[in-house]
Structures are given as C-alpha cells and as structure tokens.
Chains A and B, each alone.
Chain A
Amino acid sequence: MLGQFIETLIGGLLTGVLYALVALGFVLIFKASGVFNFAQGAMVLFAALAVARLAEIMPLPFAIAIAIAIMIALAYAIEFLVLRRLVNQEGIILFMATLGITYFLEGFGQTVWGSDIYKINLGIPREPIFLFQGVFPGGILLDREELLAALVCALLVAVLAVFFQVTRIGRALRAVADDHQAAQAVGIPLNYIWLIVWGVSGIVAIAAGMIWGSKLGVQFSISLVALKALPVLILGGLTSIPGAIVGGLIIGAGEKLAEVMLGPILIRWFDLAGGGIENWFAYVLALIFLLFRPQGLFGERIIERV
C-alpha cells in the first residue's frame, strides 16, 4: 500500500513537472505583457511538429537547433505583426489576438508539417527504472522520460530564475506588464522585451513539446495540454515562476493520488463508478483557489484602490 502510494506520488509529481513546463511559458508572457497567451498550447504543438519532422531528415540536435531558430523567428513575427500594433490596448484585446494566433498556428502547423501522428525519439530506453525493490514488493516504478522532463524543467527554471529575477530585466518586465505607455516613457524598449519573452517561451515550448511528443506522439491533442496548464496557473499565481512549478507539482500529484486513493473509497462507500477523477480534480482545486485565494499561492497580491 505504501509502495503504491509512493509510486503514485512520484508518477504524479513527474507528470506535474510536465504541466509546469507548459505553465512556465504562460507565466513568462503574462509577467512581461500582462497578456494571457492562449496560444501557448499551439506553440507547444507547433514546436513539437517542427522537431519531429526536422528530425526525420537530420540528427536530433540539428533539428532542435533549427526549431529554436524557427520559434525565435515566430516570436519576431508575432511581435512585429501583432503586438507592436496593439500597444496600450486592453488586456482582453491582446487576449483575443492570442486566440487568433492559436488557430493560425494550429492550422499553419498542419499546412507546413502535415497532420499525421509523428514520433519524436529522444533515444531514451522505454523500460522504466525500478527502485527500492528490496523495500517494497515489486519496487517503485519510474518512467525515464518523465525523469528527463524533471531534469530539463529544473534546468530551465534555474536559468530563467537567474535571467528574470536577478537581473534588472525583471523590473523592466513588471513595468511593461503594468503599463505599456509608462514603460515606454521611461525608456524601456517594449518591442525588445516582448521579443525576448516570446522567444524564451517559444524555446520552453520546444522543451515541453518534445517531451509530451515523445510520450504521446506528436499530434493535435498536444495543444490541449495547455488547458491543463490553466489550473496550474491559478494555483501558482499567474506571475510567479516558482508558482508554476509548485502548482504543476501539486496538480500532477493531486490528481493521480485522487484517482488512485479517492476512487476506491467512492466505489466502496457510495457505490459510484469511481473513475475519471483525474479529469476534474485539477479544475475543482483551481475553482476553490479562485474563491479563497485568487492571486494563487505565489502571485502578487491584487491591490485595487477605488
């Protein structure tokens, strides 16, 4: 029983890391422009498609390098064609713009790369690792890909934390998110800042897309992963990089544990079917947070003086 609990917990935490990776892309853009970037999921799909198709004709590292160049070019195009023209508009206008970008990217991705299910092979052995076989019967099962995801995520977070929190860019980002015009008036180069954050979240999308793609196959449903990042964001706070990580972990672990532990209880005591908890758990948790702590665990307090 304890072995099963620990195994579920670890499996959940590792899935949570994947959620966190997607949520991270949202947080970066939200911090820097106050825009909720609905297109993050589409960016993950687009990046995964790019890596998968490029890897068919060249070694993986080259494919990744070209994909990075593509995502940066995409960030530039979005900044130049869309964001630049919407400076100082309401958040909802920018949100609608990202909605447009979402559908464009999903369609355009298929136009360029095709709409079949593609594989990304990270060269990781499929067999899981078993730990503590002496302590628990059967040991604890670990998925190698999820383990890799955790490492990549930890690395990305460390780099981003240094980049955004230690340098003065962090202050500039918050300034831009708060007020576009005022930021421009003190000489913060808005376009440059946007290019940086969209470029960086494009690169984060590559990491997320490759790992999800290697797990599930690169297909349209990857863009729906973004919807799982929403409760993560509400839990962690829209503006907090550590929040995205902790939120991802809580939701990943929470939903798996709820499925495995709560399910049987519901079956035994209430004679319910007991399945599907994984599907709603995250959203109910997010709803509870919205009611009692709308800024999330780590978000900035919402101050409004009327």
Chain B
Amino acid sequence: MRAPAATTVVGGEVLLSVQNISLAFGGVKALQDVSFDIRKGEVRAIIGPNGAGKTSMLNVINGFYQPQAGSITFKGVTRSHMRPYEAAHGGIARTFQNVALFRGMTALDNIMAGRTLKMRRGFFWQVLRLGPALQEEMEHRLRVEEIIDFLEIQAIRKVPVGRLPYGLQKRVELGRALAMEPDLLLLDEPMAGMNLEEKEDMSRFILDVNEHYGTTIALIEHDMGVVMDLSDRVVVLDHGAKIADATPDEVKRDQNVIDAYLGVAH
C-alpha cells in the first residue's frame, strides 16, 4: 500500500466530477441531469430513498452503465462515459450492494484477483514460474497479506467465500477492492444487513483506509448515523434528481431532504 498521507486534505482538488448525467431505461428515468464532484481525500456519501438512483450513479461512474447525456471527468480527462476496464485501470475500485465475490475461490484468491491489473510480468515468465515473475507473485502475496491483516480476516484466508457469513463476505469484498490500491473507492451499501458490531468494524475500516492511505471514498449508505459519522460531504438523490449537496449537518436540516425521506402532505 502507499505510504500514509501525513494529513488528510479534505476539500482538495477535484478527483472526479459528473456533469449533467442523465440515464434512462426505456421510460424509467434513473438519473436526471445530475452533477456533483468528488474531491481528493474526502469521504463522499450518496444518499436517498429507495429507487433514488444511487446505485445507477455508481454504475455510471465505473462504466457499467452508459448515460444518455452528460459527461464524466476523472483525473482531468473528460469522457461521455467510462468503460469498466478504463475505470479499473484508472484506479476506481468498487464493492457491490449484494456482494459480488468469486464464490468458488478462497478469500485469499479473491483478494489476489484484485491484483490483476498490478501484475506486470509477461506470459513467458509466468509459465516458467521463475525469475521476475516468481518475485512479483511474492510481492503481490505480501501486499495481500497486509490487507488481510488490516481487515482482521487471517483466520478465513483459505475458506471458499461461499461458506462465509455475510458480514465477512462484505469484508473480503472490501479487501479485494483495496488490493487494487485504488485512488477512488466506491462502496455500495457497505453495511447493509450487518449487526451493530459489524457496522462499527466496517466504519473503522473505512475511516482507516481514508486516513492512512488517503484513498478517496464514495459510499452509498442507508444508515443515517453512519453517514453523519463518516462522510465529509453528502449528495442527496431523489427520483433520479439531485436535491441537496452539502455537509452532513446541513443536509440533515435541509427541508427538501426531510420531505423526500418523510413524504410531503399534498
């Protein structure tokens, strides 16, 4: 992993911004003219009621969806849409709402899979399994072991992930994303379905990643307490449109947000 940043600069330069993104599936407008930015080093939360378009937004950012309108600027390069490979290559890692692990593989192999793009040595050396390739494989193993230690999952390294309880699966999935040494980490409901203790663990991991490695994080979360504790800035979506974009405290008091969550009397 990279050397720890001395201080976390919140509100630094813009790492990624989306401009006027619109996305529709047939007649369903998932996103309507949404713009916001994510600054280097911050924890950015995306919240909103069910069906607000939060996951769609993450899918646009890492290239699973191609928006019909708008553009994405990542590390100074503006595109009309991302491709999954470009996103991964450029340093965007993500986790999924419903845990998308490689079920037949062990926790260790899953996290090693996150190193795919970091492997440099050519095919020839791989086949011979010697020289630079062997050394490289060992270096990657070392990094992966660091991540395993960090996430406190040493005991389950060799267990096929399909057998793990849900909370640990989420942790392995975070490990796989971290193995990519991302510049931007997208977390889709990292605490969904967890009990209080697991939520606290996960919160701690997220903050540690952000503070020690300076990784920029964008997360979707339903637990308001978690959002308020973790995030520097919050963007609120409702029915595919942005209705607020501010600090957690401001968002909490915002009348539009309160209406969106509680409903308005007509």
The 8 Å CB contact of B129, one of A166, A190, A305, is A166
B73-91 vs A, Cβ < 8 Å mask (1 yes, 0 no): 0000000000011011100
Interface-forming stretch among B17-25, B107-115, B202-210, B243-251? B107-115
Give the complex CA separation of A162 and B93 in angstroms.
30
Tell me how many residue pairs across A and B have CB atoms closer than 8 Å: 91
For residue A100, CB closer than 8 A to chain B, the reply is no
A171 touches B109 (CB 8 A): yes
Number of interface residues, chain B, beta carbon within 8 A = 35
A side interface size, CB within 8 A: 27
CB distance from A100 to the nearest CB of B (A): 24
Contact segment of B41-49, B97-105, B217-225, B234-242:
B97-105
Contact B117 A187 (CB under 8 A): yes
Q: Residues of A contacting B164 with CB < 8 Å?
A: 305
**Given A168, A184, A301, A305, which contacts B119 in the complex, CB threshold below 8 Å?**
A168
Complex contact A303–B126 (CB within 8 A) = no
Interface membership of A181, Cβ < 8 A: yes
Complex Cα distance, B102 from A183, in Å, reads: 8
- B176 and A186 within 8 A (CB): yes
CB distance A171 to B160 under 8 Å? no
Contact of B84 among A167, A168, A185, A300 (CB under 8 A): A185
The answer, among A166, A175, A189, A190, for a CB contact under 8 Å with B127, is A166
Tell me whether B105 and A175 are in contact (CB under 8 A).
yes
Given A185-B84, A186-B116, check contact A174 B102 (CB 8 Å). yes
Of all A-B residue pairs in the complex, the 8 with the closest CB atoms, nearest first, are A187-B88, A182-B100, A178-B102, A184-B84, A187-B117, A303-B162, A167-B126, A175-B102
Question: Which residues of B approach A to under 8 Å, CB–CB?
Answer: 62-64, 84-85, 87-89, 93-94, 96, 100-105, 109, 112-114, 116-117, 119, 123, 126-127, 129, 160, 162-164, 176-177, 180
A-B contact pairs, 24 of them (CB 8 A): A166-B129, A167-B127, A168-B126, A171-B113, A175-B102, A175-B116, A178-B102, A178-B105, A181-B96, A182-B96, A182-B100, A182-B176, A183-B102, A183-B113, A185-B62, A185-B84, A185-B94, A186-B116, A186-B180, A187-B88, A187-B116, A187-B117, A188-B116, A301-B160
